[in-house]
Amino acid sequence: MADTDQPAAASMLPLDSAYDEAMEMLLDAKDFAKSYRELGSDLKPEQRLRLSHYTMQVTARLTQIMAWLMASKAVAAGEIPAEALQSEEYALPTDGAMPGGDADTLEREQADRDFTPDRLANLMDRSRALYLRISRLDQEMRA
């Protein structure tokens, strides 16, 4: 019986690492949002709106990632059947609809880097990279 438990535990390691990474980013995003009020006072209204938009995109990405990871962990723990992950209910968007992932948004983000706080820019980049990694895992599981 221990032999059958080993592969399941070993296969969870990448998911555990991704879960920890996503949780760390969520906490960092929360802390950034708290401190953002102070940063925004020197910006034009349009710039503040753009930074709020980018912050929401980071939050949306991380929320989708966490939902997928929690569902995957539930399958590994036997709480839901593996077939459940095949349903659209648990799928990340496959049409490139990552929050903030379209070419226009990416171009705008780059143009806005001069007034985007480094901490937010870092969160934007890290959350996008993690989303892409999890999206590949999702697609592999569906293949």
Supply the CATH classification number for the domain 2-142. Answer: 1.10.8.930
How far apart are alpha carbons 49 and 64 in whole angstroms? 23
The predicted-structure confidence for 24-78, as pLDDT tens digits, reads as follows: 999 999 999 888 776 667 889 999 899 988 999 899 899 999 999 999 999 989 9
In this predicted structure, what is the pLDDT of residue 15?
86
Are the CB atoms for 128 and 62 separated by under 8 Å? no
The predicted-structure confidence for 120-130, as pLDDT tens digits, reads as follows: 999 999 999 99
Instruction: Provide the whole-model pTM.
Output: 0.81
Instruction: From 82, 34, 83, 80, select the one nearest 55 (Cα to Cα).
Output: 34
